[in-house]
Amino acid sequence: NLSMMPFMLSVWSGSGSSAEGELVEEELRHEQRKMSETLSHKQKVIEAQEHQIAALDAANNRLVAALSQLKDRYQVKTNNNNNNNNNSAGAQRLLAELGDLKSSSC
């Protein structure tokens, strides 16, 4: 416990026996090992999160590319069906919605 550190140091630097000093040293080593293990665990968690972020970024890029292809397909379909105003208006509305989705980011 780090809150005990000043007390342990004062005991260790005092005129106590060498056994007390060794006990304090052992406690400090134990605390250091615990902190090192905690840092190691946190580093592993960070690395796993970085890996997950990279995977999500790659998936997002694939989705944006697929969305772009879908948008292009609907534009071609709209150009081929210009005779039907209702169909064209619906396709234009869909294109606008697709554009909104493509421009969003996380």
Q: Are 106 and 60 in contact (CB under 8 A)?
A: yes
Domain ranges within the chain, ordered by starting residue: 2-103
Model's pTM, two decimal places? Answer: 0.51
Q: What is the pLDDT of residues 8-44, one digit of tens each?
A: 555 545 555 688 888 999 999 999 999 999 999 999 9
Question: Average model confidence (pLDDT) for the chain?
Answer: 79
- Which residue would you say has higher pLDDT here, 88 or 12? 88
Q: Are 28 and 58 in contact (CB under 8 A)?
A: no
Residues with Cβ within 8 Å of residue 21, at least 6 apart in sequence: 12
Q: Are 101 and 67 in contact (CB under 8 A)?
A: yes
Q: Are 31 and 2 in contact (CB under 8 A)?
A: yes
Residue 82 is classified by DSSP as T
